[in-house]
Structure 1
């Protein structure tokens, strides 16, 4: 819950910015990247915190390489690195399931929303509606981190 409080508004802003301008603002990425170094040590101890920082660096390098190949946007790569630390110590099966559901769900939701005239008329200047080939991946990344943190605080039965 401690991580969800600062992450939720930043993730929503990143998703909306990516939908509107097909860009995730650097100040949002920096703010998100600061959450783990500031709060992570408190939640997982020094070893887990360091692993989180290492994971952020690994994802940053991987994202940069994907950006160079044209597979990933620069903002998406930076944002993925900024959220990577939150997944340290998580169940890999749960994480992969959340990633899959959020990626597919975000793509389907985006395609449905952009086909609705009421949505298009309410947001006429949003670039993600008109750039057919591209998908605002910040929407999926935001959903992934939000649903992962929600799953982490959900009572286990």
Structure 2
């Protein structure tokens, strides 16, 4: 059993999945994660969380958002990650139970590898013509991490929902 209760995960899942798809698409298309999508993801937790989580769990999870936002900002300033990635991680943090960090890191590693390989392979095949104007095709050193981040979060919430 995961740290995110199945009932809560089932409520969060449709929102997390839809926002995640949008984040993936915008990051692939323009190498940007819009602030509105990050605020919407955080808003889903802030608004729905008190209805599906006990308050003694909900409150500390909001602190996850603040802690990851501060850490992400520092990493962004140092050039380790993009600002959109840092903000997305902060908005995603409240959904993840501390007890599930190991699983989350495994999901993130797997989605990063899968997204990177898939992106680089498609970039060099005729499939690229399906979206010829995507900015992510033109960047050799940058990678649209929003795809991996949103996929990892969606998979985590889905695993919790159906556990």
TM-score range, shorter chain: over 0.9
Q: Is the 8 A contact 1:48 1:88 kept in 2?
A: no
- Alignment deviations for residues 99-130 of structure 1 (CA, whole Å, 9 cap, x no partner): 2111211111211221222x221111101011
* 1:42 and 2:51 are equivalent in the alignment: yes
Q: TM-score, normalised by structure 2?
A: 0.89
Are the counterparts in 2 of residues 102 and 140 from structure 1 also a CA contact under 8 Å? yes
Q: Distance in 2 between matches of 1:86 and 1:150?
A: 12
5+ residue gaps, structure 1, are none
The TM-score normalised by the length of structure 1 is 0.92
RMSD: 1.2
The secondary structure found in structure 2 opposite 1:91 is helix
Equivalent in the alignment of 2:6: none
Judged with a 3 Å threshold, the aligned counterparts in structure 2 of structure 1 residues 140 and 70 are, in CA distance, closer, same or farther, namely same
2:95 paired residue among 68, 86, 95: 86
Task: Choose which of 95, 100, 103 in structure 1 pairs with 2:109.
Answer: 100
Gaps of 5+ in 2: 1-9
Structure 1 residue ranges, 4+ long, deviating more than 3 angstroms after superposition: none
- Structure 1 segment 1-157 matched on structure 2, within 5 A: 1-117=10-126, 119-155=127-163
Contact 2:13 2:161 in 1 (8 A): no
1:71 is displaced (CA, Å) by 1.1
Which SS does the other structure have where 1:2 is aligned?
A: helix
